Structure 1
Amino acid sequence: MGTYNLTDEKGLQKYLEATQFPAASVQLLSGGNANYVFRVTKHDGSTSIFKHAEPVLKLNKDFALDPARMDYEVRILEALSSTESPLPTSLTGSNVHAARFLTYDRSEKLLQIEDGGRRNLKDAYTDPKLDILYIGEQLATWLAALHIAARNFSLASPDQTADSNNNPIAVNVYRYSYNDLHTALTQFGHDPQLAVLINEKFGSLLATDDECLCHGDFWPGNILIRDAELQPIELTIVDWEMVRRGTSATDVGQFAAEAFLLDRFRGGRGLLDVFLNAYIAARGQTEVLGKAWLTRMVVHWAVHIAFWPTRVAWSGQEETHSLVDIGVLALQNVLEENWEKVLESPLLRDVKETYSTLLFRP
Structure 2
Amino acid sequence: MPDVDLATIADVRKYLSDTPFASHTISALAGGSANFTYRIHLKNPFQGKETFVFKYAAPYVAASGGKMALSVERQKFEVEALRLFRKMHADDDVITVPAVYLFDEEAHVMILDDCGTDARTLKQLVIDEALPQIVAEEIGAAIGRFLGRIHAWNKNVSFDMGIFSNNEVGKMISALVTYGRLISTLSGRDNIAALADPGLDIPEGKLAVISKLAETRSFEISNTAEVFTHGDFWPGNIMVSLRRESEGGTLRLEKLCVLDWELAKAGLRGLDIGQFCAEMRLLQRFYPSRQEEASMIMRSFLLAYRGSGPDEALARVAIAHIGAHLVAWTPRVHWGDKEDTRKTVVEGVELLVGGAEGTLAWLKGSLVGNLM
Give the whole-Å Cα distance in 2 for the aligned partners of 1:284 and 1:140.
9
Q: Secondary structure at the match of 1:235?
A: strand
What does residue 68 of structure 1 align with?
Answer: 73
1:41–1:48 Cα contact (<8 Å) kept: yes
Which residue of 2 is the match for residue 292 of structure 1? 313
Instruction: Give the structure 2 partner of residue 53 of structure 1.
Output: 57
Task: Report the structure, 1 or 2, having the larger helix content.
Answer: 2
**1:273 Cα deviation after fit:** 5.0
| Whole-angstrom CA distance in 1 between matches of 2:172 and 2:74 | 11
Helix, strand or coil for the counterpart of 2:80? helix
1:226 pairs, out of 238, 241, 253, with 241
Q: Show structure 1 runs of 5+ residues with no match.
A: 158-163, 357-362
Give the deviation of 1:256 after TM superposition.
Answer: 0.6
Moved more, 228-237 or 174-183: 228-237
The 5-angstrom pairing of residues 175-194 of structure 1 reads: 175-176=175-176, 177-187=178-188, 188-190=200-202, 191=204, 192-194=207-209
Task: Report the CA distance shift for 1:328/1:310 in structure 2 as closer, same or farther (over 3 A).
Answer: same
Give the CA deviation at 1:282.
4.3
Residue aligning to 1:132: 136
* Matched position secondary structure for 1:263: helix
Render the CA deviation track for 1:92-111: whole Å, top value 9, x for unaligned: xx501111221111101101
Q: Contact conserved, 1:98 with 1:238, CA < 8 A, in 2? A: yes
Partner of 1:156: 162
- Tell me the CA shift for residue 315 of structure 1: 1.0
1:260–1:2 Cα change, 3 Å: farther
Q: Provide runs of 4+ in structure 1 moved above 6 Å.
A: none
Of 210-219 and 222-231, more deviation after overlay is shown by: 222-231
Aligned length: 337
Distance 1:20 1:232, change over 3 A: same
RMSD of aligned alpha carbons: 2.3
For structure 2, which runs of at least 5 residues remain unmatched after alignment? Answer: 189-199, 246-251
Give distance in 1, aligned partners of 2:217 and 2:338. Answer: 28
Query: Measured at CA, do residues 339 and 129 of structure 1 come closer, stay the same or move farther in structure 2, by a change above 3 Å?
Result: closer
Q: For residue 192 of structure 2, what is the aligned residue in structure 1? A: none
Alignment-derived partner of residue 339 in structure 1: 360
CA distance 1:291–1:102, shift in 2 (3 Å): same
Partner Cα distance (1:200, 1:254) in 2: 18
Distance in 2 (CA, whole Å) between partners of 1:156 and 1:149 is 13
Alignment partners' CA distance in 1, 2:299 and 2:221: 22
Contact 2:144 2:304 in 1 (8 A): no
Tell me the residue number matched to 2:123. 122
Q: What amino acid is aligned across from residue 59 of structure 2 in structure 1?
A: P
Partner of 1:34: 34
Between 1 and 2, higher relative CO (CA 8 Å, sep ≥ 6) is seen in: 2
Structure 1 range deviating more: 252-261 or 114-123 = 114-123
Name which of structure 1's ranges 113-122 and 233-242 shifts more when overlaid on structure 2: 113-122
Q: Which amino acid aligns with 1:247?
A: L
In the alignment, which residue of structure 2 is the partner of 1:359?
none
Deviation at 1:4, TM superposition (A): 2.1
Q: Distance in 2 between matches of 1:202 and 1:320?
A: 24
Letter in 2 for 1:218: F
- TM-score of the superposed pair, with normalisation by structure 2: 0.83
Q: Are the structure 2 counterparts of residues 274 and 26 from structure 1 closer, same or farther at C-alpha, using a change threshold of 3 Å?
A: closer
Q: Would the aligned equivalents of 2:139 and 2:297 in 1 still touch at CA under 8 Å?
A: no
Shift of 1:213: 0.9
Alpha carbons 2:183, 2:211 under 8 Å: kept: yes
Q: What whole-Å deviation, never above 9, does each CA across 1:214-272 have from its counterpart, x for those lacking one? A: 11111110011222445742111111111111121111111010111112222113434
In structure 1, distance between residues paired with 2:96 and 2:2 = 31
Shifted more, 259-268 versus 229-238: the winner is 229-238
CA-to-aligned-CA distance 1:281-336 (integer Å, 9 cap, x gap) = 444226xx622212111111110112110111211111111111111112222333
Q: Distance in 2 between matches of 1:331 and 1:134?
A: 30
1:25 deviation in Å?
Answer: 0.5
Specify whether residues 8 and 155 from structure 1 end up closer, same or farther in structure 2 by C-alpha distance, changes over 3 A only. Answer: farther
Residue 70 of structure 1 aligns with an amino acid whose one-letter code is: Q
Aligned positions of 1:90-101 closer than 5 A: 90-91=91-92, 94-101=93-100
Whole-Å separation in 2 of the counterparts to 1:52 and 1:281? 35
TM-score by length of 1: 0.85
Residue 271 of structure 1, aligned match among 281, 286, 294: 294
CA gap of 1:283–1:332, structure 2 versus 1, over 3 A, is: closer
Q: How does 1:303-318 map to 2 (within 5 A)?
A: 303-318=324-339
SS in structure 1 opposite 2:165? Answer: coil
| Residue matched to 1:112 | 111
Q: Conserved in 2, the CA contact under 8 Å of 1:302 and 1:330?
A: yes
| Distance change (3 Å), C-alpha of 1:294 and 1:128 | closer
